[in-house]
């Protein structure tokens, strides 16, 4: 008698059906955003105002501290100086004629911040790569100054990020071009 | 005011299970998908991000001139057995290496044909010296960044993975104008 009453009480709470629609909705959202962030989340964006050169090969361009060289020189999206000023800036170190002092100061701040976060001794070179996104019309002497300034600030690993071009490389090998 | 019939019909509809009569309520799913599409379109940067590729640069090799520097060399694999360099100017590519008593070849121009010749020559050198994967690229000051990237691309296609950019010694600041 008591057992029958107890069974009748529990019968009220028996699940007769389970609404799976919210579960499906949530899973759709999770799968979508998981796929999106897994494929493009760690990749690097293009610095605005920079016309990048194009290449068919190269490694995946991952999100890194980026030095942008367009009309403005930017570090991590923050404008440092105009490119014209950077090209004209004289070095203040006679032993390092390629140094760009304002850019060096900004890079030292960024490098010291990384050193503090990674507990690396001050003055030690960093393994964290610095990505460079430069305008394709830039002369090499300016790029050389930028790279040298970055290395003096502690960034020994540099990565040149360019636009990826699809399709095969034009492999016209003209033997007449060699002498 | 709703009639008794309408109210009872509404109550029946509210009490009806989600899968009644074999139907699934797709409205929440459509709502969620609409939200996803809206925010995806709003924040879409995938095309610009996927369109990037990178060339990781190595540090240029150091020429050892003193016994102190020689003592810092940790192992034999740190020592280059072939010094290979590609000089890039606006009208010529020069390939030089230290193998077989010295090698030098000039390739006229910087167009697609010249780059093709460079790739073929560098592939040949790579096969000749399979242990060497390093190459030093030394562009002239007035060479455009675009042309340097094209040279790096051909070197990568030729199988060189340790690519470094070198600079010639100079004393003054860089020129401000664009490359020619």
Helix (H) / strand (E) element for A133: namely strand A130-134
Please report the pLDDT score of residue A175 as a whole number.
39
ipTM confidence score: 0.71
Tally of helices (H runs) and strands (E runs) in chain B: 6, 6
**Mean of all residue pLDDT scores within chain A:** 82
List Cα–Cα distances, A71 to A95, A104, A150, B22, B177, in angstroms. 28, 18, 19, 63, 11
Condensed to tens digits (0 to 9), the pLDDT of residues A146-169 reads 999 999 999 988 999 888 887 777
- Say yes or no for a CB contact (<8 Å) between B49 and A179: no
- Beta carbons of B74 and B65 less than 8 angstroms apart: no
Range(s) of chain B covered by CATH 3.30.420.270:
67-165
DSSP-derived letter for residue B63 is P
Most A CBs within 10 Å, among B55, B93, B155, to test the A interface: B55
> What contacts B152, CB < 8 A, 6 or more positions away?
A55, A160, B55, B137, B163
Give the whole-number percent of chain A exceeding pLDDT 90: 28
> pLDDT of chain B along its 180 residues, tens only?
567 777 877 777 666 655 555 677 778 888 888 888 887 777 766 555 557 888 888 776 665 566 666 666 555 555 566 789 999 999 999 999 988 888 899 999 889 999 999 999 999 999 998 888 889 999 998 999 999 999 999 999 999 988 998 877 665 555 555 554
DSSP-derived letter for residue A175 is G
Please identify which residue in the block is written with the tokens 């020429």: B63
CB of A169 within 8 Å of any CB in chain B? Answer: yes
For residues B96 and B83, give the distance between their C-alpha atoms in angstroms, rounded to a whole number: 8
CATH code for residues B67-165: 3.30.420.270
Query: For residue B121, which of B100, B141, B136, B107 has the smallest C-alpha distance?
Result: B107
φ, ψ of residue A80 in degrees (nearest 5) = -105, -50
- Say yes or no for a CB contact (<8 Å) between A138 and B52: no
Asked if the A54-161 domain carries CATH number 1.10.10, the reply is: no
CB of A143 within 8 Å of any CB in chain B? Answer: yes
Please report the pLDDT score of residue A106 as a whole number.
93
- Say yes or no for a CB contact (<8 Å) between A90 and B120: no
- Beta carbons of B107 and B92 less than 8 angstroms apart: yes
Please report the pLDDT score of residue B70 as a whole number.
61
CB of A25 within 8 Å of any CB in chain B? Answer: yes
Whether pLDDT at A172 is above 70: no
Whether pLDDT at A46 is above 90: no
Residues in A closer than 8 angstroms to B59, CB to CB, are 151, 156
Nearest-CB residue to B18 (from A19, A55, A97): A19
For residues A75 and A91, give the distance between their C-alpha atoms in angstroms, rounded to a whole number: 19
Helix (H) / strand (E) element for B53: namely strand B52-57
Whether pLDDT at A50 is above 50: yes
Name the CA dihedral angle for A99, A103, A104, A106, rounded to a multiple of 10 degrees: 180
> What contacts B43, CB < 8 A, 6 or more positions away?
none
Q: Regarding predicted confidence, which is higher, A106 or A38?
A: A106
Angle between helices B145-157 and B112-128 (to 10 degrees): 40
Please identify which residue in the block is written with the tokens 């990565």: A159
- Say yes or no for a CB contact (<8 Å) between B144 and A136: yes
Domain ranges of chain A: 54-161
- Say yes or no for a CB contact (<8 Å) between B176 and A19: no
């Amino acid at each position: 008698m008591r057992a029958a009453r107890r069974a009748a009480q529990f019968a009220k709470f028996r699940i007769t059906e389970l609404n799976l629609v919210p579960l499906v909705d949530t899973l759709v959202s999770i799968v979508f955003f998981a796929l999106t962030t897994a494929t493009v989340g760690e990749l690097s964006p293009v610095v605005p105002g920079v016309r990048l050169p194009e290449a068919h090969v190269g490694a995946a361009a991952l999100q890194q501290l980026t030095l942008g060289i367009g009309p403005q020189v930017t570090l991590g999206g923050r404008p440092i100086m105009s490119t014209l000023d950077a090209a004209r800036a004289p070095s203040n170190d006679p032993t390092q004629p390629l140094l760009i002092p304002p850019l060096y100061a900004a890079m030292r701040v960024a490098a010291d911040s990384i050193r503090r976060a990674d507990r690396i001794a001050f003055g030690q070179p960093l393994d964290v790569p610095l990505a460079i996104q430069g305008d394709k019309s830039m002369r090499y002497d300016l790029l050389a100054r930028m790279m040298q300034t970055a290395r003096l600030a502690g960034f020994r690993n540099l990565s040149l990020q360019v636009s990826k071009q699809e399709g095969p490389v034009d492999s016209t090998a003209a033997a007449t071009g060699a002498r | 005011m709703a009639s008794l019939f309408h109210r009872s019909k509404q109550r029946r509809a509210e009490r009806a299970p989600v899968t009644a009569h074999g139907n699934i309520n797709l409205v929440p799913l459509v709502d969620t998908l609409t939200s996803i599409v809206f925010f995806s379109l709003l924040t879409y940067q995938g095309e610009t991000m996927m369109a990037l590729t990178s060339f990781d640069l190595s540090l240029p090799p150091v020429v050892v001139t003193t016994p102190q520097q020689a003592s810092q060399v940790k192992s034999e694999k740190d020592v280059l057995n072939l010094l290979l360099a590609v000089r890039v100017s606006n009208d010529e590519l020069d390939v030089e290496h230290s193998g077989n008593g010295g090698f030098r070849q000039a390739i006229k121009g910087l167009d697609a044909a010249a780059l093709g010749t460079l790739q073929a020559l560098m592939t040949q050198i790579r096969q000749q010296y399979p242990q060497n994967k390093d190459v030093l690229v030394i562009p002239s000051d007035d060479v455009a960044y675009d042309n340097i990237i094209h040279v790096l691309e051909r070197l990568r296609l030729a199988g060189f993975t340790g690519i470094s950019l070198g600079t010639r010694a100079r004393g003054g600041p860089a020129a401000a104008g664009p490359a020619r």
